[in-house]
Structure 1
Amino acid sequence: MSYQRVPGLVSIVVTVYNKLPYLSDCLTSLLNQTYTNWELILIDDLSTDGSYEYTVSWLNSNEPLLRERKGIYTLRLPRNAGYAGAITAGMYLAKGEYIAIQDADDLSHPERLAKQVRYLNDNRHIDLLGTNYEVFEDGQPDSRQAVNWLKYGDQIGKVYAKGGHCICHGTAMFRGAVFDRIGGHTRRIEGAEDYEFIAKVIKPGARNVDNLREVLYYYRKHQKQRSREFFGKPQKEQGHDA
Structure 2
Amino acid sequence: MSFQRMPGLVSIVTTVYNKVPYLTDCLTSLLNQTYSNWELIIIDDASTDGSYEFVMNWLNNNEPLLREGKGICTLRLPRNIGYAGAVTAGMYLAKGEFIAIQDADDLSHPERLAKQVRYMKNNPQIDLLGTNYEVFEDGQPERRMPVFWLKYGEQIGKVYAKGGHCICHGTALLRGKVFDEIGGHTRRIEGAEDYEFIAKVIKPGAKNVENMREVLYYYRKHQLQRSRNYFGKSQHSEHDYET
Structure-2-length-normalised TM-score: 0.96
**1:76 matched residue in structure 2:** 76
Q: Could you tell me which residue of structure 2 aligns to residue 153 of structure 1? A: 153
2:231 maps to a residue whose letter is F
Shifted more, 157-166 versus 72-81: the winner is 72-81
Aligned equivalents of 1:205 and 1:38: distance in 2?
Answer: 31
Find the counterpart in structure 1 of residue 181 from structure 2.
181
Letter in 2 for 1:205: G
1:91 aligns to 2:88 (yes or no):
no
Cα gap change, 1:125 to 1:28, in 2 (>3 Å): same
The alignment partner of 1:239 has SS state of helix
Displacement after TM superposition at 1:69 (Å): 3.6
Give the ranges of 4+ consecutive aligned residues of structure 1 lying more than 3 Å apart after TM superposition.
Answer: none
Residue 237 of structure 2: aligned partner? 238
Q: Measure the CA separation in 2 of the matches of 1:201 and 1:171.
A: 15
1:42 and 1:111 map into 2 onto residues whose CA distance is: 21
* Structure 1 stretches lacking a partner, 5+ long: none
Corresponding residue pairs, total:
239
- Residue 35 of structure 1 is matched in structure 2 by 35
The AA in structure 1 aligned to 2:3 is: Y
The separation in 2 between residues aligned to 1:50 and 1:234, in whole angstroms, is 29
Secondary structure in structure 1 of the residue aligned to 2:190: coil
C-alpha distance in structure 2 between counterparts of 1:38 and 1:143, whole Å: 30
| Paired AA for residue 239 in structure 1 | E
Change (3 A) 1:170 1:154: same
Q: Distance in 1 between matches of 2:234 and 2:11?
A: 27
> Does the 8 Å contact 1:20/1:54 carry over to 2?
yes
User: What percent of counterpart residues are identical?
Assistant: 82
| Partner Cα separation in structure 1 for residue 193 and residue 65 of structure 2 | 34
For 1:215 and 1:64, locate their aligned partners in 2 and report how far apart those are by CA, in whole Å.
27
Specify the alignment match of 2:137 in structure 1.
137
- Give the alignment of 1:201-212 within 5 angstroms: 201-212=201-212
Match of 1:11 in 2: 11
CA RMSD of aligned residues (A): 1.1
Question: What are the ranges of 5 or more consecutive residues in structure 2 without an aligned counterpart?
Answer: none
Structure 2 counterpart of 1:84, one-letter code: A
Q: SS in structure 2 opposite 1:230?
A: helix
* Distance 1:234-1:57 versus aligned 2 partners, 3 A rule: farther
Structure-1-length-normalised TM-score:
0.96
